[in-house]
Structure 1
Amino acid sequence: MRAFTVELLEALSDAAELGAREAVHRVLVSWRATARINADPEQLKEALRPLDGDDLGPVEVGG
């Protein structure tokens, strides 16, 4: 809870000072996804499994 609160307050501060409202949305979406994964034992198990040797596919470099 503390980490979420700190991150949210920082995003709200950025939004107020810099007009960076997308930062608030990004924090909420990110933490919502984290909560959903932590609430589902199967998703949490999958998220925590090692990726050693797994091919995650091609990586595109933006320009």
Structure 2
Amino acid sequence: MAHKIDGAVCINCGACEGTCPVSAISEQDGKRVIDPAVCIDCGACVSSCPVSCISA
């Protein structure tokens, strides 16, 4: 199951996007989103988020 970003908490810093090895994260409407069809559930984005808004 792909990870999810809580848009209410996301500060749009881009740290997660830079760590994703499969480029599953992009910006939409001023927040980052994860494409579940691309996400490989590796967890790299979770540890990179400074506000802990990414969950499984």
What's the TM-score bracket when you normalise by the shorter of the two chains?
Answer: under 0.3
Bigger strand share: 2
Question: Per residue, is there more helix in 1 or in 2?
Answer: 1
TM-score by length of 2: 0.22
Larger radius of gyration: 1
Q: TM-score when scaled to structure 1?
A: 0.21
Q: Which has the higher contact order (CA 8 A, sep 6+)?
A: 2
